[in-house]
């Protein structure tokens, strides 16, 4: 990414770049709210397929954003992937814990 391009922006381009970052922050806030809810509950409250589609789509969109060399798009997609992956980790950890409890309960016979 050529950082010199940031210093050559017109006022309109700077305003729109700032607008894009603010817009992306507002869009990402919905994921943060869901992520915090999942962390508090220590489990994901959204179906597993949502997170797999989010990861696949997020990775594809990140590749596209990098190709376009769009810093607003790259920031938004890369930070979103952290949330998607963390939720998948929580889901799979819960399943492992449930399996361990079921195994322990079955061994008491």
The residue ranking higher by pLDDT, 5 or 76, is 76
pLDDT at 98: 92
For residues 60-89, average pLDDT: 91
Asked if residue 71 belongs to a domain, the reply is: yes
In a domain, 3, yes or no: no
The two three-digit tokens of residue 17, written as one number? 């770049």
Whether 49 is in a domain gets the answer: yes
The pLDDT of residue 109: 52
Report the number of distinct structural domains present in the chain.
Answer: 1
**Nearest by Cα to 92 from 55, 45, 48:** 48
Domain encompassing residue 88: 12-104
Q: Does residue 46 lie within any of the structural domains?
A: yes
34 inside domain: yes
2 found inside a domain: no
User: Residue 79: which pLDDT band, with cuts at 50, 70 and 90?
Assistant: very high
- b vs e for 59-77, b when ≥16 Cβ sit within 10 Å of the residue's Cβ? eebbeebeeeebbbbbbbb
The reply to whether 109 falls in a domain is no
The pLDDT value given to residue 96:
93
| pTM score over 0.85 | no
Query: Does the residue 96 lie in any domain?
Result: yes
- Kindly report the CATH number assigned to the domain that includes residue 57: 1.20.1280.290
């Amino acid at each position: 990414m050529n950082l010199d391009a940031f210093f050559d922006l017109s006022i309109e381009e700077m305003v729109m770049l700032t607008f894009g970052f603010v817009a992306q922050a507002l869009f990402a806030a919905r994921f943060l709210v869901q992520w915090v809810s999942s962390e508090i509950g220590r489990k994901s409250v959204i179906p597993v397929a949502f997170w797999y589609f989010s990861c696949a789509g997020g990775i594809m969109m990140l590749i596209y954003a990098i190709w376009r060399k769009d810093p607003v798009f790259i920031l938004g997609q890369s930070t979103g992937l952290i949330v998607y992956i963390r939720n998948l980790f929580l889901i799979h950890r819960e399943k492992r814990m449930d399996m361990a409890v079921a195994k322990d309960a079955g061994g008491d016979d």
